[in-house]
Amino acid sequence: MELYALPAHALRQMLDRGEISSVELTKSLIERIEAVDGAIGSYLAIRVEEALKEAEEADRRIREQRDVGPLTGIPVSLKDNICTEGTRTTCASRMLENFVPPYDATVVARLKAQGAPILGKLNMDEFAMGSSTETSAFKLTRNPWNLERVPGGSSGGPAAAVAAGATVMALGSDTGGSIRQPAALCGVVGMKPTYGLVSRFGLVAFASSLDQIGPMTKDVKDAALLLSAIAAHDPLDSTSIPGDRADFLAELDRGVEGLVIGLPVEMLGEGVAPEVREAVNAAVGVLEGLGARVEEVSLPHVRYALAAYAVIATAEASSNLGRFDGVRYGFRSREDADVVTMFETTRAQGFGAEVKRRIMLGTYALSAGYYDAYYLKALKVRTLIRRDFEKAFERCHLLVTPTSPTVAFRFGEKADNPVAMYQSDRLTVPANLAGIPAISVPCGVSQDGLPIGLQFMAPALAEPVLFRAAAAYEAAAGWASMRPPLEVK
């Protein structure tokens, strides 16, 4: 098997035994990118020279047995809203087209400290606002399983790159499902940690009470490996959870026997495609066969999750994106008579249509006379949803749902209908509102040959049991080994 197709944990063993070098691995991935990325369009920037230098340093560390960690020599790619010193970070927006951060995000600094070469920056929906990666200002990213279909969003670039073997593993960001939904549509593993478990310092903010960085990988073990490398308290992030660095690999092999898994009835009904529902029901049968007990539960307020999310996320986006004014950094309109006109034209030209839509919605929700009616009410609904989850977790260790209500859709199918596009996230949004961890793993293939995702959700800081259940299902079901039939020219 080619090196680019192997998971990180297998590559770790080969590196430690001296069977391959990090430079050899990095070159293999660069060649794979050259072969497939013209078709899928997952990268916005490739750090060829820098990644090879970092790989050389990793090889020295491995030879000298000096500061060798689980990711030493393993290349990682990043969604392009995670700041990287000296490398453009654009958020797939004209507003930041030429922005080069003077610092690394905390997660990037931790990867570099372990000796993981940073391979490049990956395409996304502009400012992480979208569910198909169609709002990127620079290019379309195509689903490796079918180049006429979207890869999901907003982390469509990372999902497509992992699925196509154009990276070993990647980091994405998840505000309302932006890691899990594209992972499901591209047939890879995507995980959103507990809010505050991973530092957001250096992540370009969309909605600060919802955003979280997480892993996108070929299998569950790699996701646990990557999360172990980046999850730790960070004084630079005021929402970072205090505590020691955790090892999320410790309980991977414990299985699910004795676990109680809840099946929320509200998240399996209307709007879920029949073949998705059938795949999830089959996955539930696998879990029961492994010794888990499955029972139906109710999350009565989850039907309001998408509406509450729309208000909270757009309100916070309106506030966060106010900094892009053409004065401090980023794009600036140059042909204006006065400063007010400069502000207006800078934002009109720098932002795309979806970003403008969300800024306007959020500004309206926060405006005088509407704050209580919209934003405050949405926060109250969020509290009710969180309590629903707490009540369910009194009975169950985990909850299981579909990740996406449908498989990957065609380009343009929902682009002109924002409400239909927002519905793509209705099964993933609740976990963000509640601040709990969730993971998507492949659980089947549709009649059209497109991947289907299964979502596990756990109580806050219960990542070990989340990985434990996901790994047990993955091993029993065998979907982790499936790869897209991507033709290489």
Helix, coil or strand: residue 77: strand
pLDDT score recorded for residue 1:
67
Provide the b/e sequence for 308-346 (b: ≥16 CB within 10 Å). Answer: bbbbbbbbbbbbbbeebbbeeebbbbeeeeeeeebbebb
pLDDT score recorded for residue 436:
98
pLDDT score recorded for residue 117:
98
pLDDT score recorded for residue 487:
72
User: Distance between CA atoms of 180 and 173, rounded to whole angstroms?
Assistant: 10
User: Distance between CA atoms of 25 and 230, rounded to whole angstroms?
Assistant: 22
* Level-2 CATH architecture, domain 3-253: Alpha-Beta Complex (3.90)
Phi-psi region of 177 (alpha: psi -120 to 50; beta: other; left: phi over 0): left
330, 324 Cβ separation under 8 angstroms: yes
pLDDT score recorded for residue 303:
96
Catalytic center residues: 79, 154, 178
pLDDT score recorded for residue 485:
87
Residuewise pLDDT in 10s, the chain (489 residues)? 699 999 999 999 999 999 999 999 999 999 999 999 999 999 999 999 999 999 999 999 999 999 999 999 999 999 999 999 999 999 999 999 999 999 999 999 999 999 999 999 999 999 999 999 999 999 999 999 999 999 999 999 999 999 999 999 999 999 999 999 999 999 999 999 999 999 999 999 999 999 999 999 999 999 999 999 999 999 999 999 998 777 899 999 999 999 999 999 999 988 999 999 999 999 999 999 999 999 999 999 999 999 999 999 999 999 999 999 888 888 998 877 788 899 899 999 999 999 999 999 999 999 988 999 999 999 999 999 999 999 999 999 999 999 999 999 999 999 889 889 999 999 999 999 999 999 999 999 999 999 999 999 999 999 999 999 999 999 999 998 889 988 766
Instruction: Please enumerate in sequence order all residues whose Cβ is within 8 A of that of 348, keeping only pairs 6 or more positions apart, or say none.
Output: 356
Compute the residue count for the chain.
489
User: Distance between CA atoms of 125 and 323, rounded to whole angstroms?
Assistant: 19
Please identify which residue in the block is written with the tokens 């699910």: 256
pLDDT score recorded for residue 489:
61
pLDDT score recorded for residue 328:
81
Tally of CB atoms within 10 A around 59? 22
Whole-structure pTM over 0.85, yes or no? yes
Residue extents of the structural domains in the chain: 3-253, 303-379
326, 332 Cβ separation under 8 angstroms: yes
